[in-house]
Amino acid sequence: MENQRQIVLDPPRTIAGREFIPVSWTFRHIVDRGDSVMVSMAREALGVILREDDDFIALMSDGRRLTVAELAVEYPSLASSLEDLK
């Protein structure tokens, strides 16, 4: 049995003329039963990144408001993807 958890930026979406980039956890649970392998996946919202003036801001599901730099420090695996936003 193997569990994997990965944080990802989803493709941007435009709502009412504003671009939103969802940030979510992807959970994958793999069970190897010898003769078969079962994989189940789930996604959980973590927050959303939106453009504010000339910068991006992350609004997290726990109520926090983070800069992109703060988000990169908190979730280092997103650093290169966040760098591409600039």
For the chain, what is the domain count? 1
Range of the domain at 42: 2-83
Higher-pLDDT residue of 69, 86: 69
* Cα atoms in the Cβ-side hemisphere of radius 13 Å centred on 39: 5
Burial 16-32 (b: 16+ CB within 10 A, else e): eeeebbbbbeeeeeeee
User: At residue 61, does pLDDT exceed 80?
Assistant: yes
Rounded mean pLDDT of the chain?
Answer: 87
Distances in Å between the Cα of 24 and the Cα atoms of 17, 32, 34, 42 are: 22, 26, 31, 10
pTM value is 0.75
d(CA 20, CA 34): 43
